Copies of this chain bind each other. A is one copy, B any other.
Amino acid sequence: MNSTNKPVAVVIGATSKWQSDGRNTKLAHGREIDDSDLPVGVRWGVGGAIAQKFAQEGFYVVLTTRTASNAFALENAIREQEGESMIVELDLVSEDSISNAFAQIRSEAGDPNVLVYNAGYLEGRDLPPEKELLEHMPLEMFETAQHISSRGPFLVAKEVLPAMRERGEGSFLISNNPSSLRGKKRNTGQSLYYPRVMMRTLAQVLTEEYSEYGVHVANVIIDGTIDSPGTRAMPRNQQNPERVINPVKIAEAFYYLHTQDKSCWSHELQLTPYPTKPSF
């Protein structure tokens, strides 16, 4: 319960597939990883870093995740930093789950002041080289990609924007990747990411529709590998640490957007490690 009526920040997808016991971590390394020597800011990827940042700035943070236990360690870390948070289970594939989660959020935390949409998916990553072309992509994988990239943000927007519009303020921030910029070939080992253009397009639609009501909408393009237990343990990243983005700094970028003056809002922000050329 948000008993002191702090402003509310909701992080959709607050945990990470690359956290110590995340799905990608287990897939890539065959086991969980000990993250006890990692800075607390990077242990749960971008979602966790954003949650910690907003907690530090005085927000009551709602951590959504499909399975509550995935977020226990993050919740503990926030508590140890003297922040406040709650975990809400939310499965973006289910309209009812979304609806129920936001009913709970409104009731126990209050209307969100900040919504960060940070959901991801793995679909397509396991397909072998002989299934690289789109004709081999199962419809089920496409549907999941659509649920996370297209229908999910649409439904979440419908949940939070009315109150933000009525109050005349709020931030609706999307955490995205360069696949949102245009359609490209999916290479073996990559997720089916072309539906992510819908997240960016929705941000453009909502920017035009809701800015005048004082709601700040932005699409953030994280243009590189994000530091986390699972990614840090990969040889490729150990050899090129300067190409790995510090999620604490990404979280600061989200906070910067939230605190921009209304007279000069940015609606897209791309974040690229200095040794690499920005994607386009």
Interface residues in chain A, defined as those with a beta carbon under 8 Å from any beta carbon in chain B: 95, 133-135, 137, 139, 142-143, 146, 150-151, 154-155, 157-158, 161-162, 165, 182-186, 194-195, 197-198, 200-212, 214, 216, 222, 224, 242, 244-246, 249-250, 252-253, 256, 260-278, 280
Contacts and interface: CB of A to CB of B under 8 A. Distances in A.
A184 to B, nearest CB: 6
Determine which residue in A182, A203, A205 has the highest number of CB atoms from chain B within 10 A of its CB, and name it: A205
A168 to B, nearest CB: 10
B146 A161 contact: no
Given A158-B134, A246-B263, A202 B183 contact: yes
Contact of A183 (B201, B250, B275): B201
A280 B182 contact: yes
B205 A186 contact: yes
Copies in the complex: 4
A158 B146 contact: no
B249 A264 contact: yes
Nearest to A197: B201
A115 to B, nearest CB: 13
B280 A273 contact: no
Contact of A264 (B184, B246, B260): B246
Contacts of A202: 183, 194
B264 A267 contact: no
Top 5 A-B pairs ranked by shortest CB distance? A183-B204, A264-B271, A183-B201, A183-B205, A249-B261
Nearest to A219: B183
Determine which residue in A151, A201, A222, A256 has the highest number of CB atoms from chain B within 10 A of its CB, and name it: A201
Given A157-B134, A264-B272, A205 B209 contact: no
Given A146-B146, A157-B135, A256-B256, A274 B263 contact: yes
Determine which residue in A184, A210, A242, A256 has the highest number of CB atoms from chain B within 10 A of its CB, and name it: A184
A136 B263 CA distance: 28
Nearest to A272: B265
A193 B222 CA distance: 27
A278 B207 contact: yes
A178 B260 CA distance: 19
